[in-house]
């Protein structure tokens, strides 16, 4: 559904002029919950080896760390669970423990299978950037959780039908990239100033240490 919306200015030399669109989350990405627990019983797990496949779990999403690995299955058994494969570029979401934590698997991460406590999201990048999608998804989860929790801070993942039916306003791809570049440059500027500040702190500590050592040398000569 297309509609006219006042565009934010200040993200570039000119304001945005394209229409924004109302779209469902089901149009923005493909969603897949992990297999039933019975598909990944303890007796199925094997030691890590050349012909094994990693099982991703909620801790990977919560800790934002693809390297965390406790469980592996044979490549042969992984083929039976091919619908639950995940790889670099996928977004995984924790559905147990600390619910609602999202993590995009980096390019160096190994392919694997998601367990029952994860949801895999594959963004339609011809439609929306991953950065914008992650913001929208997180906001929608927060809104849903606020309605369902009765004041509790605990997050909840809505049923797939509800999740896919949620609506968000999105700009054109051109505007999304402009916004992404703006915030990327802004983050870079913040990082630069933080590093600059840290450098000055190190210099200050070095000067103080030099003054102390110099003072001690002078006192020894008296």
DSSP 83: G
157 and 104 part of one domain: yes
Total domains in the chain come to 2
Neighbouring-strand partners of residue 112 = 54, 86
Asked if 90 and 30 sit in the same domain, the reply is yes
Residue 14 located in a structural domain:
no
Q: Is 13 a member of any domain?
A: no
Is 207 inside any structural domain?
yes
| Residues 91-141 pLDDT 10s | 999 998 788 899 999 999 999 999 999 999 999 998 898 888 998 898 888
Domain assignment present for residue 7? The answer is no
Per the structure, the complete domain to which residue 214 belongs is given by 173-222
Same domain, 74 and 100: yes
CATH number of the domain enclosing 109: 3.90.220.20
33 exposure class (CB count in 10 Å sphere: 0-12, 13-18, 19+) = middle
The residues, ordered by sequence, that sit 6+ positions from 25 with a Cβ below 8 Å of its Cβ are: 136, 137, 140, 163, 164, 165, 166, 167, 168
96 inside domain: yes
Task: Judge if 201 and 100 occupy the same domain.
Answer: no
- Which stretch of 5-19, 66-80, 198-212 has the lowest confidence by average pLDDT? 5-19
Same domain, 163 and 72: yes
196 shares a domain with 113: no
Give the contacts of 21 (CB within 8 A, at least 6 positions apart): 1, 2, 3, 169, 170
Does residue 108 lie in a domain region? yes
Mean pLDDT rounded to a whole number for the chain:
79
Burial degree of 122 (CB within 10 A; 0-12, 13-18, 19+): middle
Residues 118 and 201 in one domain: no
In a domain, 4, yes or no: no
Cα distance between residue 98 and residue 58, in whole Å: 8
Q: Which residue has the tokens 């998804």?
A: 137
Highest mean pLDDT among 31-45, 70-84, 156-170, 206-220: 70-84
Whether residues 177 and 163 fall in one domain = no
Residue 75 lies in a domain: yes
**CA distance linking residue 108 with residue 37, whole number of Å:** 28
Q: Are residues 208 and 124 in the same domain?
A: no
Do 110 and 187 fall into the same domain?
A: no
Q: Do 80 and 119 have their domain in common?
A: yes
**Final residue before a domain boundary, out of 127, 147, 170:** 170
Q: Which two tokens stand for residue 42?
A: 């303890």
Domain boundary among 128, 154, 170: 170
Indicate the pTM of the whole model.
0.72
Q: Write out pLDDT tens, residues 65-89.
A: 999 999 999 999 999 999 999 999 9
Which among 140, 146, 149, 96 is positioned nearest to 119, based on CA atoms?
A: 96
List helix spans (H) across the chain: 25-28, 58-62, 75-80, 130-148, 160-165, 173-221
Is residue 31 domain-shared with residue 113, that is, in the same domain?
yes
């Amino acid at each position: 559904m297309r509609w006219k919306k006042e565009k934010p200015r200040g993200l570039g030399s000119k304001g945005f002029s394209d229409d924004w669109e109302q779209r469902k989350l089901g149009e923005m990405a493909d969603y897949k919950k992990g297999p039933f627990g019975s598909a990944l019983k303890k007796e199925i797990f094997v030691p890590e080896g050349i012909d094994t496949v990693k099982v991703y779990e909620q801790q990977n999403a919560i800790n934002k760390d693809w390297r965390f690995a406790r469980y592996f299955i044979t490549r042969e058994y992984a083929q039976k669970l091919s619908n639950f494969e995940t790889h670099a570029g996928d977004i995984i979401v924790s559905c147990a423990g600390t619910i609602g934590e999202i993590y995009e698997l980096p390019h160096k991460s190994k392919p694997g299978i998601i367990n029952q406590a994860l949801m895999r999201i594959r963004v339609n990048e011809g439609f929306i950037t991953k950065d914008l999608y992650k913001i929208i998804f997180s906001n929608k989860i927060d809104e849903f959780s606020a309605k369902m929790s009765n004041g509790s801070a605990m997050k909840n993942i809505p049923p797939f039908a509800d999740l896919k039916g949620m609506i968000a306003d999105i700009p054109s791809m051109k505007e999304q990239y402009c916004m992404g570049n703006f915030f990327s440059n802004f983050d870079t500027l913040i990082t630069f100033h933080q590093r600059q500040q840290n450098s000055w702190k190190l210099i200050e500590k070095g000067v103080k240490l030099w003054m102390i050592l110099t003072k001690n040398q002078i006192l020894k000569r008296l």
